[in-house]
Amino acid sequence: MGFVYALIAAGLSLIFGLMEIVNFAHGEFLMVAMYVAFFAWALLKLDPLVSLPLAALLLGTLGFTVYHGIIRRVLDGPMLAQIFATFGLAVLLRSAAQFLFGVDFRTVSQPLLAGRVALGPVFIGVPQLAASVAALAAFVGLFLFLSRSETGLALQATAQDRHAAALMGIDTQRMFALGWAIGSACVGVAGGLLAMFFYIFPDVGTPFALLAYVTVALGGFGNVPATLAGGVLVGLVEAFGGLYLTPALKYSAVFALYLGVVLWRPQGLFGRF
């Protein structure tokens, strides 16, 4: 699960790093992605694993549209306007999902991958394992894109100093829109992967978003590679917390760790701020 958390958090971190805006609708984006996977399965008989590119593409488009439709207009506004803009979007998406899809829990039954495998003494569900591998692959892809490609460098430059970036000939507005598209596409992939084994309902994004904020804060805001470490840490603490305490208390362990780290290192484990 750690890798999936990391991927969700990477999208959040990318957008924050780029323009210091926290997307409070991030969890709802995840929910939308899961419904995309669900309806692709229910209507088109496509397994979530197969419809993954579709979820990524649709969420990327959503992110791009949200940037141009909403975020761009509040970019120079007060911080409170930025918070309310994404928070309002979250409420809108969640209510729309309740209205359109109802509040029932839905699941993708008979997925392509099922059963479980033994890795040494530990049993892991095959869908969970596949989700981890795919999330890690997506994360590595994102990292290579950011660090190796021309556009990735331009994104990093924009994040580090948007005025200096503009003077290099970088269209920073385009980079912001691209950041939203990529950040949201990350959530699209994560949502598609989660749909293989998780219930789908309008509020499903909330706990994941909460974990994403913890993950980003643990790794360090605006530092994409660090979110991988943060995600793995959250995943492990959750798993072992569930094992050694009781499953009901597993998130308490995560949030206790988070509190500890924030008190000890407010900038996160690898943070720059």
Partner 1 sequence: MTRLLEARGLDVLLGDYQVLWEARCAVAAGEIVALLGPNGAGKSTLMNSLSGLLRPRAGDVLFDGHAITGLPAHRRVSQGISHVLERRRLFPYLTVRQNVWLGAYAREARADRETQYQKMIELFPIISARANQLAHTLSGGEQQMVALARGLMSRPRLLMIDEPFLGLAPLIVEQLVEVIRRVNQDGVTILFIEQNVERALSIASRGYILESGRTILDGPSSELLHSAEVRRIFLGG
Q: Where do contacts with partner 1 occur on this chain (CB under 8 A)? A: 150, 153-154, 156-157, 160-161, 163-172, 272
Rounded to the nearest whole angstrom, what is the least distance from the CB of residue 162 to partner 1 in the complex? 10
Of 113 and 166, which CB lies nearer to partner 1 in the complex structure? Answer: 166
Rounded to the nearest whole angstrom, what is the least distance from the CB of residue 164 to partner 1 in the complex? 4
Of 61 and 156, which CB lies nearer to partner 1 in the complex structure? Answer: 156
Alpha helices in the chain (DSSP H): 2-19, 26-44, 52-66, 72-74, 79-101, 126-148, 150-160, 162-167, 172-194, 205-219, 224-244, 250-264
Closest by CA position to 5, among listed 189, 146, 145, 248 = 189
Of 103 and 168, which CB lies nearer to partner 1 in the complex structure? Answer: 168
Of 168 and 256, which CB lies nearer to partner 1 in the complex structure? Answer: 168
Rounded to the nearest whole angstrom, what is the least distance from the CB of residue 13 to partner 1 in the complex? 14
Of 166 and 236, which CB lies nearer to partner 1 in the complex structure? Answer: 166
**Could you please report the per-residue DSSP string of 144-163?**
HHHHHSHHHHHHHHHHH-HH
Structure tokens at 148: 């190796």
Is residue 78 helix, strand or coil?
coil
Rounded to the nearest whole angstrom, what is the least distance from the CB of residue 273 to partner 1 in the complex? 12
- Going from the C-alpha of 197 to that of each of 106, 229, 266, the distances in angstroms are 11, 24, 34
Residue whose tokens read 């913890």: 214
Of 154 and 186, which CB lies nearer to partner 1 in the complex structure? Answer: 154
Is residue 124 helix, strand or coil?
strand
- For residue 249, the 8-state DSSP code is G
Q: How far is it, in rounded angstroms, from Cα 241 to Cα 183?
A: 29
Rounded to the nearest whole angstrom, what is the least distance from the CB of residue 230 to partner 1 in the complex? 18
Rounded to the nearest whole angstrom, what is the least distance from the CB of residue 269 to partner 1 in the complex? 16
